[in-house]
Chains A and B, each alone.
Chain A
C-alpha cells in the first residue's frame, strides 16, 4: 500500500494535521519568494553567494503573513491550502487581505452554532454581552444593557486603559492612529500595536476557520468579511497587544519587536487553545463542552426537523405515499 501512503503524504487527511490549538502561531515573511520544491515549501532569499533556502513547516503553522516584497507560486499556495494554513497578505501601512481554506470534510457543528446565535437579535445581544464580560470581568455589564450602552462602556474603558499605560510608560499624549497614508511617521506605540494586531488577526482568522466558523458573522462588529475575527481579537487586545505596544514606546524597530513579544505571549498565555475554547464557549451558553470534539465529519446527513439527521445517499422515494413501493426503489442508489 505504498501508493496510498504516498497520497496521504501529498494530501494529508484532517487526522494528520495538528489541531489549531496545538499549532505554531504565525510566520511573518518579507522580501522572499515562496516556492515548492520536492513537495516541500521553502522561502528563497537572495544572498551574495546565491539563493538561500528556508523550509517552512506548513502543517504546523496556523498562519503565514506575507509582507511587502514577497511572491508565492501556485504549487506553494496549493500546499498551504491543503494543510489548512491561513494566508494573510499584509501590505505596508497595515493594509490586509486574507485567504483561507475550508477542508470539505470539516464538520459544520460550530458553524451551525454560530449562525443560530447570530440570527436572532436576542441571542446575538447575549453573545455580545458575554464578550464584554469576558473582557472586563463577570457582571461588569449591567443587566439589560443595550448594545449602544455596551459600546459606550467599552469606549470609556479602552480610553482609560490608554491613559493608564501612557502614564505608566511616560508616553505623552497618545492617540491611536492607523492612517495608512501616514504610516511611516507614526510613533512606535502605534506601529507596534498595528503590527501586533495584524498577527493577532491572522492567527484568529486561522483558528476561526479551523473550527469551521464564519469569519464574517460578527456579533459586535458587522459589515465586513472579518467582523467575527475583530470580535474575537477584542477579547485579548486590552490584556495583550495594547500593553505590549506601550512597552515598546522607545523601540527602534517596534514592528519586529512586537511580533517577537507577541509570540512569547502566545506561549505564556497559552493563547491558541484559549482562542479556540473562548470561541466555543461564546456560542454555548450552557457552558458544557463542544457539540462535537471531532473536526472531521465523514458523513453527510439530510436535515429533518422532526426526525433529526437522516443518512444521505439513500433513496427516500418510498416516503411519497402516492408512489407504490417496489423492491428496486428501496435499494440504495449508491
Chain B
C-alpha cells in the first residue's frame, strides 16, 4: 500500500540529494515528494538519515495518529519535535544546542 512521503533536507551532501531524486521529485530545492510503499520508505529513510552529515533531513508520512501523520528527523538544528500528550508540535530552541547530535531520532513515542 503506497502512500505519499515528503522529505525536506537542509545542507545534505550532494550524493544524498541525487539518490533521493531517483525515487522522488524535487519541487523546490531540498524538498522531495513522492509516493512509495512503507517498506521502501523505511529503507530509503534509514539510508538517508545515516548519511546527512552535518545537514538535516525531516521525513513526514501518513500515520494512524490524531494528526494523521508522523515526523522523523535526522541531524539537529534549532527545531525539535516535542510530544504533548500525543500531539506532535515543534519546539524552537533558544540557541543552537551544544554539538550536533548526528544520531536519528524517531518522534513517534509509543
Contact = CB atoms under 8 A, between A and B. Distances in A.
Contacts of B82: 54
Interface of B: 64-67, 82, 84-87, 89-95, 97
B66 A263 contact: yes
Contacts of A55: 89-90, 92
Contacts of B65: 267
A11 interface: no
A56 B67 CA distance: 13
> Would you list the 10 A-B pairs with minimal beta carbon distance, nearest first?
A50-B94, A263-B86, A259-B85, A49-B94, A53-B92, A267-B66, A260-B85, A260-B86, A54-B91, A49-B95
Given A24-B66, A25-B66, A266-B66, A56 B89 contact: yes
Contacts of A263: 66, 85-87
Interface string A45-80: 101011111111100000000000000000000000
B85 A54 contact: no
Contacts of B87: 24, 27, 263
12 contacts: A24-B66, A24-B87, A25-B66, A27-B89, A42-B92, A45-B91, A50-B95, A53-B92, A54-B82, A54-B89, A259-B85, A264-B86
Contacts of B92: 42, 52-55
Nearest to A46: B94
A136 interface: no
Query: Interface on chain B toward A: helix, strand, loop, or mixed SS?
Result: loop
A28 interface: yes
Query: Interface on chain A toward B: helix, strand, loop, or mixed SS?
Result: strand
Interface string A83-102: 00000000000000000000
A47 B93 contact: yes
A163 interface: no
A256 interface: yes
Contact of B90 (A24, A45, A49, A54): A54
Centre residue among A47, A52, A259 by max chain B CB count within 10 A: A52
Contacts of A256: 85
Interface in A112-154: none
Size bin of chain A's contact surface: 20 to 34
Given A49-B97, A54-B92, A263-B87, 4 more contacts: A27-B89, A47-B93, A49-B93, A55-B89
Contacts of A267: 64-66
A53 B94 CA distance: 7
A191 to B, nearest CB: 15
Contacts of B93: 47, 49, 52
A42 B82 CA distance: 14
B65 to A, nearest CB: 7
Contacts of B89: 27, 54-57
A165 B92 CA distance: 43
A260 B110 CA distance: 10
Contacts of A28: 84-85
A51 B94 CA distance: 5
Nearest to B97: A49
A217 B28 CA distance: 53
Interface string A28-45: 100000000000001001
A115 B67 CA distance: 35
Contacts of B90: 54-55
Contacts of A53: 91-92
Centre residue among B82, B85, B91 by max chain A CB count within 10 A: B85
Centre residue among B82, B84, B91, B97 by max chain A CB count within 10 A: B84
Nearest to B94: A50
B108 to A, nearest CB: 13
A50 B67 CA distance: 29
B91 A52 contact: yes
A41 B96 CA distance: 22
A258 B86 CA distance: 11
Contacts of B84: 27-28
Contacts of B85: 27-28, 256, 259-260, 263
